[in-house]
Amino acid sequence: MAFRPSILVVDDEPNSLFGICQALTDEGFQTIPAKNGREALEKLKTNSVNLIITDEKMPDLSGTELLLEVKKTHPHIPVILITAYGSVSMAVETLKKGAFYFFEKPIFEKLERFIIIIRQALKTQEMAKEIDFLRKEVTEKYSFPNIISNHPKMLEIFEIISKVAETDATILIQGESGTGKDLIAKTIHYNSLRKEKPLVTVNCGALTESLLTSELFGHKRGSFTGAVKDAIGRFQAAEGGTVVLDEIGEIPINLQKTLLRVIEEKEFERVGDSQPTKVDVRIISTTNRNLQEEVGKGNFRDDLFYRLSIVPITIPPLRERISDIPLLVNYFLKKFQKGKVPVRMEPGVMEQLKTFSWSGNVRELANIIQQMIMFCRRNTIIIDDLPPRLFLKEEMGQRKEGGKVQLMKIVSDLEKKWIVSKLKETDWNQEKAAKLLGITRKMLTNRINKYNVKPQKNR
């Protein structure tokens, strides 16, 4: 059955009230009649309402007064005021107070136009509800409890960001790739006083110096080849909100002076423009480099470094907070199996996961869990479901001879182990094992001969 919007119609004139309700019903709307403003407020408490249409001139509570009461409790419900005593100044005043539209009676002479306005109001209300839902979803996603850790260093970081989130202090987040710098930056923004304003991220390492300048600050038409029209930059796009400068350590030294001016004077000039543009943004920077070392090498301005790092945060790599691995694994198991048959993990797998160095940090762990969920058999993750590359990385980091990694030997050992594990899993059925390994039967036979693999009885 098609959705029928519900409209609360308020008018103290019985004939007018009946006529409007009848016209709206004929157009497919549900109507809730109310003889005055007080009755309308009572009906609003017990009915789901998508739109309110109210007469302006009524005893006890006028349409404008009703509008103000509605906006206190139901800010997303649009209100259309109708009156036979309208004026331009009255219309302007009611629109300022939050009315969606001000319509002059008699409406039946302009019914088609009236219905169009009603449909526009309902569409606006639906969009407002959707935006509100998305905003709540984002706020919940980036709330402090959703940063998963019980490690002392991470708990210190949570305490810091909870204190500085509502300030305008610049924040420098340092950490290896995959540690969650982006998550921390977003959490700070969505728990700040700027959360209703834009969050704009710029990857400083992805563009050349000239393109990055234009990307950050915008340009005037004709300022360079291809500049066919004026364009605003990311700083202007984030007005009132937050700019995240991702991989700030990659920003060219010549551009660093311009960025310093933005922080100190809150203004910049677009490429090709001589007039300064004022801007109000908060700046959060992230990097996988040690910026203090870059300052020592002359690659990064010391004055910019100190301006960017009023609040410095360093996220420890996953290998330094092994206690977080079970928490993260359980979180990713729930996240990636959503809507699917629940997947369990054998205890030995969790212990094995704790032994890896995780050079890709939390991002790598998430990818591994997602991969194992997709490819595990019988909804159970076992040791053999761990990708061989994890073991390869560990052995490459540990097994050295005269400083030279025995790469071929490591690869061969791992390949043999992997083949034997799949042969055991299929009770030494080479056809089935080849399918699990993703190779042909002939390729498997060649490798069995190469590694001198002998059938073993499963225990």
Residue 400: count of CB within 10 angstroms of its CB: 11
At 316-337, the pLDDT tens digits run: 999 999 999 999 999 999 888 8
Mean pLDDT of 214-226: 80
CA dihedral 76→81→87→91, nearest 10 degrees, is 0
Mean pLDDT of 54-60: 90
Residue 124 — very low, low, confident or very high, per pLDDT cuts 50/70/90?
Answer: confident
Residue 402 — very low, low, confident or very high, per pLDDT cuts 50/70/90?
Answer: very low
Residue 27: count of CB within 10 angstroms of its CB: 13
Residue 443 — very low, low, confident or very high, per pLDDT cuts 50/70/90?
Answer: confident
Same domain, 331 and 232: no
Same domain, 173 and 304: yes
Spatial separation of the C-alpha atoms in residues 386 and 373, rounded to whole Å:
11
pLDDT at 86: 66
Same domain, 157 and 302: yes
Same domain, 126 and 158: no
More confident residue, 232 or 284: 284
CATH code (residue 245): 3.40.50.300
Q: pTM score, two decimals?
A: 0.64
Q: What is the domain extent for residue 73?
A: 6-138
CA-closest candidate to residue 28, choices 55, 1, 48? 1
Same domain, 122 and 233: no
Same domain, 360 and 402: no
Same domain, 202 and 133: no
pLDDT at 403: 46
Assigned domain for 1 exists: no
Assigned domain for 35 exists: yes
Assigned domain for 451 exists: yes
Structure tokens at 137: 């979803």
Same domain, 323 and 296: no
Assigned domain for 377 exists: yes
Residue type, 414: L
Whether residue 393 is predicted with pLDDT greater than 80 in this model: the reply is no
pLDDT at 143: 62
Mean pLDDT of 389-415: 61
Residue 348: count of CB within 10 angstroms of its CB: 10
Whether residue 254 is predicted with pLDDT greater than 50 in this model: the reply is yes
Same domain, 404 and 338: no
More confident residue, 392 or 243: 243
Q: End of a domain among 80, 104, 138? A: 138
Side-chain-facing half-sphere of 345: CA atoms under 13 Å: 24
Q: Of 75-84, 141-150, 151-160, 345-354, where does mean pLDDT reach its minimum?
A: 141-150
pLDDT at 410: 64
CA-closest candidate to residue 54, choices 25, 93, 83? 83
Cis ω for the linkage preceding 276 (within 30 of 0):
no
Whether residue 401 is predicted with pLDDT greater than 50 in this model: the reply is no
Mean pLDDT of 139-155: 76
Mean pLDDT of 75-80: 91
Assigned domain for 191 exists: yes
Structure tokens at 54: 């109210």
Same domain, 285 and 416: no
Assigned domain for 143 exists: no
Domain count for the chain: 4
CATH code (residue 48): 3.40.50.2300
Q: Which residues pair with 344 in a beta bridge?
A: 380
CA-closest candidate to residue 236, choices 210, 203, 266, 260? 266
Q: End of a domain among 107, 138, 169? A: 138
CATH code (residue 422): 1.10.10.60
CATH code (residue 354): 1.10.8.60
Whether residue 340 is predicted with pLDDT greater than 80 in this model: the reply is no
pLDDT at 146: 67
Side-chain-facing half-sphere of 40: CA atoms under 13 Å: 32
CA-closest candidate to residue 349, choices 378, 327, 382? 382
Whether residue 413 is predicted with pLDDT greater than 90 in this model: the reply is no
Same domain, 43 and 29: yes
CA-closest candidate to residue 244, choices 184, 179, 293, 290? 184
Return phi, psi of residue 432, to 5°.
Answer: -70, -40
Same domain, 273 and 211: yes
pLDDT at 2: 60
Distances (CA, A) of 286 to 24, 124, 192, 365, 424: 55, 38, 18, 21, 47
| Average model confidence (pLDDT) across the chain | 86
